[in-house]
Amino acid sequence: MEQQQRKQQQISEEDENVEEVQHGPYPIEQLQACGISAVDIKKLKDSGHCTVEAVAYSPKKELVQIKGLSDAKVDKIIEAGMSILYLSPLFNSSFLGNKKNFRGWHVFIWLLSLAASKLVPMGFTSASQLHAQRLEIIQISSGSRELDKLLEGGVETGSITEIYGEFRTGKTQLCHTLCVTCQLPLDQGGGEGKALFIDAEGTFRPQRLLQIAERFGLNGADVLENVAYARAYNTDHQSRLLLEAASMMAETRFALMIVDSATSLYRTDFLGRGELSARQMHLAKFLRSLQKMADEFGVAVVVTNQVVAQVDGSAMFAGPQVKPIGGNIIAHASTTRLSLRKGRGEERVCKVISSPCLAEAEARFQIAPEGVIDCKD
């Protein structure tokens, strides 16, 4: 009896010492337990690398460009970051935080590589495991049942959704609605997180959030407090805002990031065919940074895009035609591409242009004082 009581007491003490499983990205500070100095970690954070995943997802040449980090230091940082991702499924953070456990670092890195296919998030996995992971992906409601049906639940987190169309087709109003719905509980089509809004056109209006919040029964003051806003004034500033955004997302839970619009400043900062190549390279780097943030923090990234008149022979027979700007760069960077156009009266029409899983179909919705809603008969 005494032995059984001792065993039960020992098991209960071990259970108390077991820490919760790590969810979300790993803070960059965990690299300090792997021998990376606090000074180098600060340099990484200042450059926008606020998590271990950010280091793992970045190419070496990008890290070498950080002032004060040599090739040798970057190799050590990458090895430390990958090692944490190796070890995280096996050990809790108390083990990872004990520097004594890392004396034989290079020895058991080789041992762990034997189980790489199961342990490393950046390695191969089975389609069944990926399918199970995708079933857990959060989708944020658009506010319209018909639009959510078209999107098979709503705007997908962890990817980029591009929304393009002419003026007054509802792009910005849809973004305002998403800023509110992302704060709803999961069972109500929300993401239980904050929203981050980068405004390049000066069209963000907090009073619209208050009107939409009233529709969903949310406290208006809390809704406004949970939306981080920044105005972008040029393309370089727009890119720098992503560094600050990454730092904020590493500290608190965000479910949505909006850039409205992602391309408007590029139309004025880069002029003529002579600067076309530089524009496309700058835009590609900006979009790649957005995708990295979607992968790193699991947020839904929504970007709006402007259109340009398509002047060719088909316009003579089919009427005025428009196409999104940004060319193939933004077309390939977007996971889901949606086109908005005006319908009859107050109706708007959303069409799926490109998606890896959504059918090419259309849905009608309406813009009302309470945000995006279903069309009224």
To which H or E segment does residue 362 belong? Answer: strand 362-368
364-376 pLDDT, tens digit per residue, is 999 999 999 999 8
Q: What is the mean pLDDT of residues 82-102?
A: 49
| CB-facing half-sphere around the CA of 25: CA atoms within 13 A | 32
- The pLDDT-based confidence of 157 (bands split at 50, 70, 90) is very high
Tens-place pLDDT, residues 20-71: 445 567 788 877 777 788 888 888 888 888 888 787 778 888 888 888 888 8
Whether the CB-CB separation of 178 and 192 falls below 8 Å is answered with no
- Residue that has been written with the tokens 């069209």 in this structure: 203
* Residue 241: CB atoms within 10 Å: 18
Calpha distance 28→52 (Å, rounded): 5
* Predicted TM-score of the model (pTM): 0.78
Mean pLDDT of 297-305: 96
The per-residue pLDDT for 282 is 96
**Mean pLDDT of the region 79-102:** 52
Who contacts 81 (Cβ-Cβ below 8 Å, separation ≥6)? 31, 52, 53, 55, 56
